């Protein structure tokens, strides 16, 4: 861009955060560079200074200065644990964002990024959300979890009231959560339910869940549904899985329990000695939180969001000739 521009906010952009607006219009502009331009007053809204969380209104004029070469230096392409390393928290959150309004954020979490801190965790979503505190000083709040190696839909509340409502929706099972998984073998029947009790146990490699019995100490009931979407002969199957309960590692344990563990699962994948990992398929967990349907905390209908597959699963889907549209039917 050669000089200063005055860009008018479109009618359908009302209420959008300014940093999100820049992400849409100038996707190569890094979050750190954007912050410098805002702090120095080079970016303005209707002539006044603005911040990254400023809410813009239709018809307002955004002053956009020459953006220089910094924007071209920002890594492009999908987020992975590797490509995130050199990027600021706010920038990463902006690229993860699928949906936002004044109460709710929905992210597509990359595989390998932890949701909360723990042993050996140097970066996680909960800490990254500090970058998006609002004018009142409120940090967005987690309302559910995903395993570190599981990619996909992560819902976050922007306010305390929204957090209470969303947490209740998860607790009372008012949400519909759909996962995609690639498993060893093909389940029979192709459509079924898995009902067990799960018990957490300590191992040298950390917490692990096992199938237990009703009455076992610490045993919680776990119920899942699965259906086969597509398959590669009798070797592998693409499953749609829905957890009706929300136990730790539930889908991963249930898949193994029925004899069809999820490919790349470092804790629960089991195979005979003759099994060979397919060439061209990365040894990473093939489990993705694909979709969520959840009541809006303000009671205004539902939020229904889909998350694109992570790069390692896109690679596998292409290798096996799976069509994403088939899973959306």
Give the catalytic positions in this structure.
147
Q: What are the C-alpha distances in Å from 252 to residues 16, 151, 179?
A: 37, 13, 11
Q: Which H or E run includes 157?
A: strand 151-157
- Closest C-alpha to 90, from 144, 38, 161, 145: 38
Other beta carbons within 10 angstroms of residue 47's beta carbon come to: 9
> In angstroms, rounded to a whole number, what is the distance separating the alpha carbons of residues 290 and 294?
13
- Return d(Cα 181, Cα 289) in angstroms, integer: 9
Query: Which phi and psi angles does 250 have, rounded to 5°?
Result: -55, -55
Q: 148 near 113, Cβ under 8 Å?
A: yes
CA torsion angle for 44, 48, 50, 54 (degrees, to 10)?
-110
Q: Hey, CA dihedral for 47, 48, 51, 54, is it positive or negative?
A: negative
> Vertex 245, ends 156 and 130: CA angle to 5°?
15
């Amino acid at each position: 861009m050669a000089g200063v521009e005055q860009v008018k906010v479109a009618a359908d952009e009302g209420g959008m955060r300014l940093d999100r607006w820049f992400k849409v219009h100038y996707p190569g502009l890094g979050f750190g560079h954007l912050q410098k331009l805002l702090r120095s007053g080079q970016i303005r809204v209707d002539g006044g200074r603005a911040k990254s969380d400023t809410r813009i209104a239709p018809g307002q004029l955004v002053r956009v200065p020459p953006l220089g070469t910094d924007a071209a230096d920002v890594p492009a392409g999908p987020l992975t644990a590797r490509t995130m390393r050199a990027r600021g928290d706010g920038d990463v959150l902006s690229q993860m964002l699928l949906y936002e309004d004044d109460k709710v954020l929905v992210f597509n979490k990359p595989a390998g990024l932890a949701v909360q801190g723990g042993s050996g965790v140097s970066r996680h979503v909960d800490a990254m959300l500090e970058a998006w505190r609002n004018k009142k000083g409120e940090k967005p709040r987690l309302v559910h979890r995903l395993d570190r190696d599981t990619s996909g839909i992560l819902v976050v509340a922007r306010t305390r009231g929204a957090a209470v409502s969303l947490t209740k929706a998860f607790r009372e099972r008012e949400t519909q959560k759909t996962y995609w998984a690639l498993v060893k073998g093909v389940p029979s029947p192709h459509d079924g339910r898995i009902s067990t009790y799960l018990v957490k146990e300590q191992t040298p490699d950390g917490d692990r869940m096992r199938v237990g019995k009703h009455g076992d100490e610490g045993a919680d009931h776990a119920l899942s549904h699965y259906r086969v979407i597509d398959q590669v002969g009798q070797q592998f199957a693409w499953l749609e899985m829905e957890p009706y309960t929300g136990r730790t590692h539930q889908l991963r344990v249930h898949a193994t329990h029925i004899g069809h563990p999820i490919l790349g699962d470092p804790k629960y994948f089991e195979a005979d000695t003759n099994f060979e990992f397919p060439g061209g398929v990365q040894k990473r967990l093939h489990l993705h939180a694909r979709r969520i349907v959840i009541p809006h905390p303000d009671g205004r209908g539902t939020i229904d969001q889909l998350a694109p597959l992570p790069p390692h699963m896109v690679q596998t889907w292409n290798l096996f000739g799976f069509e994403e549209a088939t899973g959306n039917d």
